[in-house]
Amino acid sequence: MATIATEETEIVLKDGHKLFAKEWKTPEAPVASVVFLHGFSDHCGAYYDLFPDLATQGINIYAFDQRGWGKSSLEKKHWGLTGGTADVLADLDEIITARLAWSESQPTRPPVFLVGHSAGGALTLTYAYSGCLRSKLAGFAAFSPFIALSPAEKPNPIVLMVGRLASRVMPNFQMLNKLDPNNVSRDPAVCKTFAEDKLCHDTGTLAGLAGMLERGARLLEAEYVKKFDKKKPVIVLHGNADKVTDFNASKQFFALLEAEDKEFKEYDGWYHKLHADLPENRKEFSSNIADWLLKRTDTIKKAEVPTANL
């Protein structure tokens, strides 16, 4: 693998909040670009070889620790303080605006895709139908999206109802929502790393958790899914042995989706972290993502040729 240069930066949002960001740069001029969204109790430094693998194939990766997570919220009092869906989308608007401007400044003008994992996957799909800048993005990829929890993890409906009501009164009340490390991957080393990672603190807030659950639930409602732009490509990738998020919920969403270019990729026996399941499978997953991004990029570039010749 070619040596991939990385750059760590700090994003200062309009409200003054600072986010940690990291970019994986391509060895040559970028062909495509990704804005990446991590999941719950996660951070952008936990994606193993996925980002370097994509960068070696000409795909620039821009990832950041979302508000309330990772290096963007190191103090315990800030853990999980994501705000509600409107706040999360507003943060994303600012970041996408900057990345679109970056793309325009590049000689190759690489198209910008939104890609996310787990809760970040559901946020990616939510942005695809409701984000202010969704029309300017080239496509959307979600792997192991948190549309619903796996059947074994689903909380009691009464607990959910009480939680939603409480989130209106105490939105920033913090709650520990422990994920079983053994459920994230079939690789024991990955499970151990996750369990010991201090940036994966499993702490959410009532408002943040309620928003996350609501975003997922809406992806199973035709009223919202019909708002997707049919011209925008979408891919959903999910392991059918995922013990964290519900594989069948992803299938239900996909059945509702009316995009002209949509693809569902099933991984037999794989767990939640598709990018960090068994070591021998990781190249397969990164290749699947890269191939999808590069094929859509090629389609976009070919469509631009007649306009360029006028």
CATH number for position 84: 3.40.50.1820
**Contact of 82 with 205, CB cutoff 8 Å:** yes
pLDDT band at 167 (very low <50, low <70, confident <90, very high): low
Asked about 275 being catalytic, the answer comes back as no
Query: What pLDDT digit, counting tens, does each position of 11-22 carry?
Result: 999 999 999 999
Q: Catalytic: which of 72, 73, 118, 167?
A: 118
Given this model, what pLDDT does residue 170 score?
62
| Measured CA distances, 214 to 158, 160, 161, 280 (Å) | 15, 11, 12, 36
pLDDT of 31 above 60:
yes
Given this model, what pLDDT does residue 132 score?
98
Mean pLDDT of 166-182: 75
Distance CA 304, CA 37 (A): 28
* CA angle 17–99–234, rounded 5-degree value: 110
For residue 117, give the amino acid letter: H
- Listed range (1-10, 64-73, 158-167) with the worst mean pLDDT: 158-167
Q: Catalytic: which of 43, 272, 275, 277?
A: 272
Is residue 26 situated within a structural domain? Answer: yes
pLDDT band at 155 (very low <50, low <70, confident <90, very high): low
Highest mean pLDDT among 168-172, 189-193, 301-305: 189-193
pLDDT of 234 above 60:
yes
Helix ranges, the chain (H): 50-56, 85-105, 119-130, 157-169, 188-196, 206-218, 222-225, 247-256, 282-309
pLDDT of 214 above 90:
yes
| Measured CA distances, 205 to 166, 209, 266 (Å) | 11, 6, 32
Residue 42: name the closest of 116, 98, 115 by CA.
116
Given this model, what pLDDT does residue 207 score?
85
Is residue 105 situated within a structural domain? Answer: yes
Distance CA 153, CA 148 (A): 9
Distance CA 243, CA 180 (A): 9
Q: Domain span at residue 50?
A: 6-309
Asked about 33 being catalytic, the answer comes back as no
Is residue 209 situated within a structural domain? Answer: yes
Q: What percent of the chain has pLDDT over 90?
A: 78
- Give the pTM: 0.93
Distance CA 269, CA 185 (A): 10
The tally of domains found in the chain comes to 1
Mean pLDDT of 239-264: 98
Is residue 254 situated within a structural domain? Answer: yes
Q: Catalytic: which of 42, 242, 246, 277?
A: 242
CA trace torsion 151, 157, 160, 164 (10° rounding) = 140
Asked about 118 being catalytic, the answer comes back as yes
Is residue 1 situated within a structural domain? Answer: no
Q: What percent of the chain has pLDDT over 70?
A: 91
Mean pLDDT of 149-167: 62
Is residue 224 situated within a structural domain? Answer: yes
Distance CA 218, CA 80 (A): 22
For β-strands 203-205 and 234-239, DSSP reports them as unpaired
